[in-house]
Structures are given as structure tokens and as C-alpha cells.
Structure 1
Amino acid sequence: MQIAPASTLPRRLGARGLAVWPGVLLTAAIAAISTGIGSVIPVLGSAVPAIIIGVLISLLRPRLMRGHEKTDARIQPGITYSSKFLLQLAVVFLGVQLSLSSILQVGLESLPIMLTTLVVCLLGAWLIGKLLRTERRVTTLIGVGTGICGASAIAAVSPIIGAASAEIAYAVSTIFLFNILAVILFPMLGHALNLDPHTFGLLAGTAVNDTSSVVAAAGVYSTAALGFAVVVKLVRTLMIIPISIGLSVMEARREASGSGLTGARVAKLIPWFLVGFIVVALINSSGIIPDGPRDVLVHASIFLIAMALAGIGLSTDIPALRRAGWRPLALGGILWVLVTVTALATIGVTASFR
């Protein structure tokens, strides 16, 4: 592989910036609008409006760009840049939400529930996906989205498995639908089971996916449940690391037709943005990042995910979404119920040993 000289780096970066800025500006504008929508309707967050706006524009794009093909061609590199590189950069910034102290405090109690629900969810996705004959990458995205942390997990995994924009859009939309149902039904379920705030926070943190939905469900239940639920949810984000590494190895084996993997090859398979995620989390654990910059990075990660999903929406193959049909939605619904039941059962079993 030929490596370009470092002396040409400024020129290459400048050329890259000129190539991508029109499309990046478009995705940033969509992200700004979706962030405003999310601030008015917190349960929506910014990710879902961004991908919906992107898909709507992609539907209108052929008409809007008729006679402006050169302009359409100019914005495409930035759209691709947003949906790929900015998506990976957002995952790196997500690490600033975690600290070693919170992991140690919450991990001991929540880890058995997290691991049990994740194993059940991934095995369920594999088996039920085969029964429903859903496409492999869609099955993987819905499985990790349900088992780990919704759009953030989908963002981390999609570059590893080479998911298409339509597959990412379908997975995010499916996860969002059941997040909305969770916000409505979980507080009712908690009151019906007479769960104390601590137990409900544990349930919400392990069985509801996106952070905005966890905040909404736990906040509706009680203020006491809210803080614990959010910390459990953030610790649950750590499951992205082993799952991403495992998927990287599986994808490499599939591409290499089952040939052996050495330790050096496995190390090369670990995505750069996953390494960045771990490094940022470790730096945050040291306490050297002040509250102000940390808040900026948290908001930056959320905004970058919105930009990336706007790019994915703009690139979505609408006919492919139609061809996917009802099966991925059914898969998401079954996994959602399975994770909820497993979380409740595991909470009950672990409580009996305390």
C-alpha cells in the first residue's frame, strides 16, 4: 500500500473539505431542524426526525434536482461523508458519557440483567430472523439495536457489517416504534407490578433502548427512578465493544471463506472509532475533562448522529424499504417483548439472592 507524504496533507484535506461541504451543510441543516423538533418533543429525540426528513427529501430529490444535475452531484459526496465518517466520529464522542466510577457502581447490580437480556436478544434475533427469513444485516441491526442501545448501537455496527442505507433506516425506524410503545406501556407495567423506583430504573435502563426513551419512561414513573435508569443505560452502551469486535471477526471470516485469523489480523479488524470510544471513556474516567467541555462533547455526539442519520435518510433506497415488508417489524416486536420479559425475570431472580 502506497502512503501519501505528510507534506501534502493540508492540500489533500483542503480538497476533501471543498468536495464534501455542500452535502455536509445540507445534513447539518437537517440535524439542526431535527434537534429543534427533539427539544419540543423529547421522546422523539433528534435521530428519528433527521432520518425521516432525509427520507422525505430523498423522495422529492429527483423532482427538486431536475435540471440541476450538477448541483445534485456536488452534494452527494458530503451526504456520503456524513453517513459514514461522521457516524463513526459520533460513536467516538459517545465515550464521554461513561466513567469508570459509574461503571463500577452500577455494573455489579445491572451486569447480570444486561448480559442475560443481550444473550437472549441476540440468540432470539438469529433464530427468529431465520424463521421470518429477514435479511442478515437487517436482523443484525435490529438485534443489536434492541439488545444494546438503539440508534447508537446501530450507528456503531452498521459500518462493520456494511449495512445499506435502507437497512439502517428500517432498523432505526423499527427500534423507534417500540421505544415509543415502551414510554407509554412501561410506567403502566411498573405500577401494575408495584415496582419500587430503583427496580423500575433497572428495568427501564436494560429494556428500553435510546437514551431519550429511557429518560421519558423513567421520568414518567418517578424522579427517583430517572437517575439510576440513565446510568444503567449508559453502562449498557459498553456492550457495543465486545459485540463490535465479535462482528468484525465474523465478517472477516465470511469474506475470507472461513480461513484462519491470526492475532494480528484480529487486532486490525477492531474499528478505529471503537478504539476512539474506549480512549475517550478512559480519559473521561480520569476526571480531567471539565463539565463544560464534556457537555459540549455529549451534545456534539448527539448532533453528529443526527447529521449521519440525515445522510442515511438522503441516501435511502425507498424501493428496498418497501421490499423489506413486515418481517423486520415483526422481528423487532418479538425481540422487544423477549427482552422485556427476560429483564423482569432476571431482576426477580437476582433480587431473591440479595
Structure 2
Amino acid sequence: MSDFRLKVFYTVATRLIFIILALFCLTPWASPPLALALGIALAWLVGHPFPEHTQKGTHWLLQASVVGLGFGMNAQSALKAGEQGIVFTIISIVSTLILGWLLGRLMKIEKKTSYLISSGTAICGGSAIAAVSPVIRAEQKQISVALGVIFILNSIALILFPFIGHQFNMSQQEFGLWSAIAIHDTSSVVGAAAKYGDQALQVATTVKLARALWIIPVAFLSSFLFKSKEAKIKIPYFIGLFILAMLANSYIPAVQAISPFMVTIAKAGLTLTLFFIGCGLSKKTLTSVGVKPLIQGVALWIFISVMALWAVMEFA
């Protein structure tokens, strides 16, 4: 077989494997952690055949899945969970940003890279990095390093957090609140909470989305700190659609009849999202991160995780 034919065969086989695994992630047998693991395995063993397509699709698929989860939630319960998490949210965001700034200066990490890692840890992972990076005019290398750190820790959290929750005998309410504060990305928060239980999923999703709204004031703060007043700030409009879906499920009987179907589709979409994210965690991504940014990310993650765990167990 010639080199050209071998290359064509390899490309076709890789794409076929990707499609089969993606379809499997839409079935009831695939869990969020399994989907993430399959994506990572594919990236390491044969490579990612559609990196550009899934990078764009992941963003929209995650948002659509989160909106779909709103059809499974009650407005009054969500309001109660949001009120309980707001104090933890404010304290954790402010303290994480301050600690991130100190660690960045102490370890002499490039300023914008350090700030992106701190913002991603403090608020909502990749979404915060995507919103803040144009405001501070970050370069692609700085964005890639920050995203690499966040994605690595997200992958660990998705598997580790449910285990820790069971070891501490955390209630559904406690785990949902803890995961929403301590896990970076919405996708991993929802994935970990869904594995823990339905009530944990409701609490985690509500608190995490309320936390995501802090992208707006942090983005304004970023423009002030980095003196980039002309940069546009991205507002997470999909959170409004999530609220509308939740209100419709709470007060419109006709919507309640189709809500279980919508939630099932949303969970499948979230599982597929995690598969796409796993496919992006290649060896190249991991090696491009560097030691110091990874240490900063791990230190901030441990800080916010331990602080949030103590606060939830003590006051929730």
C-alpha cells in the first residue's frame, strides 16, 4: 500500500472511529466521565480528526444543553439555591483573583496568562477566559496555555469530585453547591453533579449560571486593569434562555409535559460536549501548558476547592 493510500485509509478510519464514539455518547449507556475519557483516549491514540469543527460546535452545544436542563428545574427551588450560593460566590471569586495575582507575581508568570488562569478558576473556566481574553488583548499562546490548565483540571474534577462527595457523605444540596463553586467549567460542573444525583444537578446548574454572570463585572474590571477601554465585552445571553426555560417548566403545564424529553436531550448533548472537550486534550495541548502556569492553576484550584468544601459543610 502506497503512502498516499495509507494516509487516506488512516484519515477515513480516524473519522469513522470519531463518529462511532460521538454517536455512542448520545446513548443512555454513556456517562459524562466515560465520554470525557473516550475523547482523551482518541486524542492520544489516533488524534482529533475534526479539531476546528468541534471547537466551534462545543461552545454552542454546551449552551444549548444548559438551556435544555432548565426545562427540568423549578423556579422557586432554583431561587433558593441561588440565594444560598451568592455569598460563597462573591467571597470565592474575590479571594481567588487576589491569590492568583499574588501567585503570578511570586512565580513570575506572564501577567496576562496568570490573569486568565485566575479568571477561569474564579468564575467559569473556558467561558470566562473567552470573555476576558479580548478585553485584555491576550495573545493566542496566552489563551491556549490558560485553557490547557483549566481543561486538565476540569477533567480531573469530573471524576474526582463525586468520589470525594461520597467520602464526606455530602447531601445532594451540599455537593451541588460545592461543585458549582469549585469546578471551573459549566460542562464539568453539570457532568459531576449529574453523576451525583438529580437534586445536586439542579443546585449546581443554578448556582454555576448565577456565578457565570460575574463574567460581566470581572470583564469591566479587566478593561480597567489592562487599560483596554475599547474592547467589547461578551455577555452570556444563553443564561437568559435558561431562566426562560425554567420559568416555562415551573408555570406552564403544556411545557411540563415535554420537559422530561427536553432534559433527556440536554443530558445527551452535555455528554457529547464532554467527548468533544476530551478530544481537544492532546499531547500537544498538555505539553504547551508549562510547569509554572500549571502549578498556579493547581494551587488556585486546591484553594477554592478546600475553602468551598469547608464553607459548604459548615454553613450550608
Q: TM-score, normalised by structure 1?
A: 0.63
Cα contact 2:65–2:270 (8 A) shared by 1: yes
Is the alpha carbon distance of 1:189 and 1:100 closer, same or farther for their aligned partners in structure 2, counting shifts above 3 Å? Answer: closer
Partner of 1:107: 79
Which amino acid in 2 is paired with 1:184? F
* Structure 1 unaligned blocks of 5 or more: 1-21, 62-71, 145-152, 219-225, 348-354
The match for 1:207 among 157, 178, 182 is: 178
| Alpha-carbon offset, residue 305 of structure 1 | 4.4
The match for 1:307 among 276, 285, 300 is: 276
The match for 1:90 among 59, 62, 71 is: 62
Partner of 2:308: 339
Q: Alpha-carbon deviations, 1:154-184, whole Å to 9, x = none?
A: 2432321337334223212224434544323
Partner of 1:269: 233
Q: TM-score, normalised by structure 2?
A: 0.69
Q: Alpha-carbon deviations, 1:267-314, whole Å to 9, x = none?
A: x6344xx32342254145324482334422442243134325524648
| Alpha-carbon offset, residue 239 of structure 1 | 1.7
Is 1:50 the counterpart of 2:39? The answer is yes
Q: d(CA) in 1 for partners of 2:51 and 2:166?
A: 39
- SS of 2:285's equivalent? coil
Identity of aligned residues (%): 9
* Structure 2 unaligned blocks of 5 or more: 1-11, 134-141, 184-188, 250-254
Cα contact 1:165–1:315 (8 A) shared by 2: no
Partner of 1:230: 201
The match for 2:240 among 278, 289, 292 is: 278
- SS of 1:46's equivalent? helix
Q: Alpha-carbon deviations, 1:171-217, whole Å to 9, x = none?
A: 12224434544323332323xxxx7xxxx12111101242333344x
Cα contact 2:190–2:204 (8 A) shared by 1: yes
CA RMSD of aligned residues (A): 3.9
Is the alpha carbon distance of 1:157 and 1:84 closer, same or farther for their aligned partners in structure 2, counting shifts above 3 Å? Answer: farther
Cα contact 1:103–1:235 (8 A) shared by 2: no
Is 1:80 the counterpart of 2:52? The answer is yes
- SS of 2:55's equivalent? helix
Partner of 2:101: 130
Is the alpha carbon distance of 1:115 and 1:31 closer, same or farther for their aligned partners in structure 2, counting shifts above 3 Å? Answer: farther
Which amino acid in 1 is paired with 2:272? F
- SS of 1:95's equivalent? helix
Partner of 2:6: none
Partner of 1:67: none
Give the number of the structure whose residues are more often helix, by fraction: 1
Q: Alpha-carbon deviations, 1:110-152, whole Å to 9, x = none?
A: 33431122122212211221232261111222222xxxxxxxx
Q: Alpha-carbon deviations, 1:244-267, whole Å to 9, x = none?
A: 323443455456x254x8xxx9xx
Partner of 1:296: 265
Count of matched residue pairs: 274
| Alpha-carbon offset, residue 101 of structure 1 | 5.9
Is the alpha carbon distance of 1:130 and 1:157 closer, same or farther for their aligned partners in structure 2, counting shifts above 3 Å? Answer: closer
Q: d(CA) in 2 for partners of 1:167 and 1:228?
A: 32
Is the alpha carbon distance of 1:285 and 1:30 closer, same or farther for their aligned partners in structure 2, counting shifts above 3 Å? Answer: farther
Partner of 1:222: none
Which amino acid in 2 is paired with 1:32? A
Give 1:115-126 correspondences, 5 Å limit: 115-126=86-97
Is the alpha carbon distance of 1:127 and 1:92 closer, same or farther for their aligned partners in structure 2, counting shifts above 3 Å? Answer: same
Q: d(CA) in 2 for partners of 1:343 and 1:286?
A: 30
Which amino acid in 2 is paired with 1:275? Y
Give 1:151-230 correspondences, 5 Å limit: 153-162=124-133, 164-190=143-169, 200-208=171-179, 209=183, 210-216=189-195, 218=196, 226-230=197-201
- SS of 2:25's equivalent? helix
Give 1:133-144 correspondences, 5 Å limit: 133=104, 135-144=114-123
Cα contact 1:38–1:46 (8 A) shared by 2: no
Q: d(CA) in 2 for partners of 1:245 and 1:36?
A: 33
